Amino acid sequence: PELFLDHWGKPLFTTLAAPFAQFGIKGLMVMNTLLYVVSSFFLVDLARTLKMRFTWALPVLLAATPVYFQDVMSGLTEVLFATIFIVGLWAFAKERFILVALIVTWLPFARSEAYFVVPWFALAFLFKRQWLPVALLALGPLVMSIIGWFVFDDLIWIINKNPYTGAKDI
């Protein structure tokens, strides 16, 4: 079970990818392609919500992005992160703030860059005077802390097992 909670592997990605990984890299490519389709759907609807033109071009532009396309054809975590982020932005544009928080709270378990992204959502909630969503941003880390407590016998394993601790070992 500790492999599902490994920070390097990203717990959310590992959990969602495990069934697809049973079929090797091609299975992960299928998962990432499905995530691309989901991302495209939400990008198009987000663009329509924002009254943008040429929304049909967004899936094409997304697929044509070199690094993104390479990541879809791999087993990397970036596509999951992008999908969660896009769905979070879509929900924010629709002013479904509780849904945003329930989605975005899982970002740190898809990619570590979330530690730089989630605070912006928190600030946006504060700006909109949405107090419950601010609190709900703690749900993902709280749930993962409790799950990890049973595996690692450490309630703050998210901090203690984090490989990105800075330059203390250099």
pLDDT at 165 over 60: yes
As a whole number of angstroms, the distance between CA 106 and CA 143 comes to 10
pLDDT of residue 33: 97
Stretch 82-98: mean pLDDT: 97
pLDDT at 116 over 90: yes
**Strand blocks (E) in the chain:** none
Residue-wise pLDDT for 9-67, tens only, equals 899 999 999 999 999 999 999 999 999 999 999 999 999 999 999 999 999 999 998 89
Cβ pair 162, 144 in contact under 8 A: no
As a whole number of angstroms, the distance between CA 97 and CA 115 comes to 19
pLDDT of residue 40: 97
As a whole number of angstroms, the distance between CA 50 and CA 72 comes to 26
